[in-house]
Amino acid sequence: MTDSHGRPAAAPVVSLREITDENRAAVEALAVTDEQDYFVATVTQSLKDAEDYPDAKPWYRAVYADDKPVGFVMISDGITVDDPTYVGPYYLWRLLIDHRFQGRGYGTATLDLIVEHVRTHPDARTFLVSHVVGPGSPVTFYQQYGFALTGEVHDGEPILELDLYPA
Ligand SMILES: CC(C)(COP(=O)(O)OP(=O)(O)OC[C@H]1O[C@@H](n2cnc3c(N)ncnc32)[C@H](O)[C@@H]1OP(=O)(O)O)[C@@H](O)C(=O)NCCC(=O)NCCS
């Protein structure tokens, strides 16, 4: 891509922003492809889950590329209850990049920002994710980032783990 002077355009800056009354509708309108619906819940459902499961310590943000909302991320940010229905204590609960903006590095940049956030917790050593199995599953995306399958399965979803402080 080039700018108005024909020079290579600077890559958009990816940031995480709070969801407010100003941006809520735009963030809830973000969507994956019909085929990818199988792998992730909608933003609206995720916000409802965040309200319904406070023990899962939901922490969520809109993903922005410069000033444009392009995705949504929600993590379990330090679960303290001993409840086998949850994966944690630090768990990537939801991640989606709108279908129009996929394949531009925004998912990877979001993981970078989330890992930076999780590392601010002194007790956090690993970060977990699980994935729905099936063609088009995001497992390769996570493995390319550095997550490794643990061999454990939660609710039919294989769990992957990222070492936050690799030697
Ligand atoms: C998975 C997702 C978040 C990745 O975001 P993205 O912005 O498209 O990813 P990036 O552009 O940072 O891609 C990084 C690498 O992962 C690969 N990748 C991205 N999505 C992938 C997928 N679904 N399966 C396999 N590889 C994938 C890319 O090809 C790229 O590889 P490369 O560096 O060799 O080119 C996005 O595709 C998405 O929202 N998918 C639908 C919802 C979903 O599955 N969410 C995860 C729920 S657990």
SS3 96: strand
Give the chain's length.
Answer: 167
Residue 101 forms part of a structural domain: yes
pLDDT, tens only, 49-63: 999 999 999 999 999
Structural domain contains residue 33: yes
CB neighbours of residue 62 within 10 Å: 22
- Is residue 4 in a domain? no
Whole-number pLDDT of residue 117 = 98
In this model, does residue 1 exceed pLDDT 90? no
Q: Is residue 9 part of a domain?
A: no
How far is residue 100's CA from residue 5's CA, in Å, rounded to a whole number? 26
What is the pTM (predicted TM-score) of this model?
0.95
Q: Locate the ligand 1 atom nearest the alpha carbon of residue 33 and give its number.
A: 41
What beta strand segments (E) does the chain contain?
Answer: 14-17, 58-65, 68-77, 90-97, 126-130, 148-154, 157-163
Q: Is the pLDDT at 142 greater than 80, yes or no?
A: yes
Candidate from 32, 102, 161 with most ligand 1 atoms within 8 A of CB, to mutate: 102
The answer to the question of residue 2 being in a domain is no
Is 138 within the bounds of a domain?
A: yes
Q: Looking at residue 74, which CATH number applies to its domain?
A: 3.40.630.30
The answer to whether residue 151 sits within a structural domain is: yes
Number of domains in the chain: 1
Please give the backbone phi and psi of residue 18, each rounded to the nearest 5 degrees, phi first. -65, 155
| Residue 85 falls inside a structural domain | yes
Question: What pLDDT is recorded for position 36?
Answer: 96
> Is the preceding omega at residue 89 within 30 degrees of 0, hence cis?
yes
Residue span of the structural domain in which 96 resides: 14-163
